[in-house]
Amino acid sequence: MEVKIGVQHAPREIVLESGQSAEEVERVVSEALAGKAHLLSLVDEHGRKVLVPADRLAYVEIGEPSPRKVGFGAL
């Protein structure tokens, strides 16, 4: 699952591939926004943990990863 996180006052978004389902990611984000957790904590496919302060979240986009294009194929 591809997750894009926008952080307030940061020029770039955080993009990670997570092994968690969309429902799990949505639950974790909802808990952080509801104030149940002070940090949004997600784990990527390589086991790295990403922590974002809940009060700095601008947006979270959850979706399927797009296939990467390789080579010089016609569009």
With a cut of 70, list the residues of the chain below it in pLDDT.
66-69, 73-75
% the chain with pLDDT above 90: 71
**Tell me, what's the pLDDT at 48?**
93
The answer, as to whether pTM is greater than 0.85, is: no
Each residue's pLDDT tens digit, 54-69: 999 999 999 987 666 6
Q: Is 18 helix (H, G, I), strand (E, B) or coil?
A: strand
Gap between the Cα atoms of 45 and 2, Å rounded: 10
The confidence score (pLDDT) of residue 72 equals: 74
